[in-house]
Amino acid sequence: MTTSPIQQPKASHFINGRYVEDSDGAALNSTYPATGEVIAELHSATPSIVDQALAAADAARAGWAAMTGSERGRILRRAAEIIRTRNHELSVMETYDTGKPLQETLIADAASGADCLEYFGSIAAGLTGEHIQLGADFAYTIREPLGVCVGLGAWNYPTQIACWKAAPALACGNTMVFKPSETTPLGALKLAEILSEAGLPDGVFNVVQGYGDVGAALVEDKRVAKVSLTGSVPTGRKVYAAAAAGMKHVTMELGGKSPLIIFDDASIEDAISAAINGNFYSSGQICSNGTRVFVQKGILPHFLARLKTRTERAVIGDPMDETTNFGPMVSQGQLDITLRYIEKGIEEGATLITGGKAHEMGGLYIEPTVFSDVTDDMAIAREEIFGPVMSVLPFETEEEVMARANDTEFGLAAGVFTSDLTRAHRVVKGFEAGTCWINAYNLTPIEMPFGGVKASGVGRENAHAAIEHYSEVKSVYVGLSPVEAAF
């Protein structure tokens, strides 16, 4: 018996406009990370379910692509409105699925999904080709959908990730089969339900549950034209390789170990706020987090003292209490990984400023942790932890810190705090990262492209940039002159 307010979904999968079950699939449960309570009992997709979903997406392709952009956009915007109206209920569900505090989910999850549906719903009507005059002849281009797209999601922002993939794909006239992370199966199902309620034709957006093997089966299927993954770099390498075998389009939103550089002329309180947001929001489970905080030597003692004081003010507790601003980790696995990295940091000689252990509340709670005296070669400075562990690294000069900031296989994001605007732009120009912030951190409005370089990814989500990754251009040359031939 569950005591949570979350209703068990009608079935595990949503295919062709309705809930579908196949209880032969392996058990796949969603648990509330704060208590361990099972809130939904589902099944992983069987090969038959995978086939049904792809067949539905394939069959819906022509009809959806034939609709005008305005018609498609209207449905997406209607879905955005439904999400906004039901934001509280959806946020409660997201909190139960992920453990993230309601204080966060009320503003960052379904709400950002609605922004995304509204944005792509608004630009769908304006997606056109171009006219190219060629003397007496001319050419034009037609922007065409790719076909059936597969979306694979991570567990940290289940609803937002589903929207970030579905909205641009659907706006361009594609159909989609989306597989959420096995850890957080609920948000994508709700999105499918809401899109259907908004008038989306059956089969255009389908959701199947499953573990990595289900994701792999989707990626390998011949009916699939494009794969968009949000996940770790190791999974990204596998999915990219499988997609390449079928010459499929990809978008890869992968992990990071992003630098946040704080110069001595910065507003220190703002920089600390950014470091806190960029390390402890969602209990540190955010891909773009600025987990390597480089602080110029002159301000280091003051910075660390204020950072410690402010970090220790975190309100850790029941995620459903709206005063809580730091919740549990999503799973035992993620908690164990994080605790192991903390131990490694101590072993390697970093200085623990605050936190450093599982929280006295027990369960999946952990203390927000700050290390200083971190050196570039330590594991906590090189590897993505995906937990609330901040590494503070001192630096002296701009030249030195830029080389150190870029000395990583990752390139998802980077930030700089300084009051010298010339320096800020110079630093940003030098970052090897896809998404950068000046005197801000981790803000990802839908209007701004988001994505990584180097091992952190391929392609961009959000903004007009996403359109390029969910459509292709057909060129048409129109001859109006006599055709000449050599013989």
Partner residues linked to 144 by β-bridges = 472
Q: Does residue 384 touch ligand NDP according to CB under 6 A? A: yes
- Asked about 461 being catalytic, the answer comes back as yes
Residue nearest to ligand NDP (CB): 215
Give the end-to-end CA distance of the chain in Å, rounded to a whole number. 84
CB nearer ligand NDP, residue 112 or residue 296: 112
Q: Does residue 49 touch ligand NDP according to CB under 6 A? A: no
- Residue 177 CB, nearest approach to ligand NDP (Å): 12
Contact letters for ligand NDP, residues 203-242 (x by CB under 6 A): --------xx--xx--x---------xxxx--x--xx---
Q: Does residue 2 touch ligand NDP according to CB under 6 A? A: no
- Asked about 253 being catalytic, the answer comes back as yes
- Residue 366 is classified by DSSP as B
- Residue 321 CB, nearest approach to ligand NDP (Å): 25
Which range in 130-138, 148-156, 263-271, 290-298 contacts ligand NDP by CB under 6 A? 148-156
Which range in 6-14, 153-161, 265-273, 308-316 contacts ligand NDP by CB under 6 A? 153-161
Tell me the residue type at 159. T
d(CA 383, CA 107): 29
Q: Binding to ligand NDP (CB under 6 A): which residues in 177-206?
A: 179, 181-182
- Residue 3 CB, nearest approach to ligand NDP (Å): 26
- Residue 162 CB, nearest approach to ligand NDP (Å): 11
Which range in 151-159, 166-174, 320-328, 473-481 contacts ligand NDP by CB under 6 A? 151-159
Q: Which of 100, 165, 226, 248 is catalytic?
A: 165
With CB under 6 A as the contact rule, the residue among 20, 127, 152, 272 that binds ligand NDP is: 152
Q: Binding to ligand NDP (CB under 6 A): which residues in 273-312?
A: 287
d(CA 89, CA 4): 12
Which range in 68-76, 147-155, 342-350, 356-364 contacts ligand NDP by CB under 6 A? 147-155
CB nearer ligand NDP, residue 69 or residue 215: 215
Question: Are 358 and 334 contacting, i.e. CB atoms less than 8 angstroms apart?
Answer: no
Q: Does residue 465 touch ligand NDP according to CB under 6 A? A: no
What is the phi-psi region of residue 154: left when phi exceeds 0, alpha when psi lies from -120 to 50, beta otherwise?
beta
- Residue 209 CB, nearest approach to ligand NDP (Å): 8
Query: How many residues line the site for ligand NDP (CB under 6 A)?
Result: 30
Q: Does residue 389 touch ligand NDP according to CB under 6 A? A: no
- Residue 193 CB, nearest approach to ligand NDP (Å): 20
Q: Does residue 113 touch ligand NDP according to CB under 6 A? A: no
Which residues would be at the binding site for ligand NDP (CB under 6 A)? 152-156, 179, 181-182, 211-212, 215-216, 219, 229-232, 235, 238-239, 253-256, 287, 384, 386, 412, 452, 457
Catalytic residues: 165, 253, 287, 461
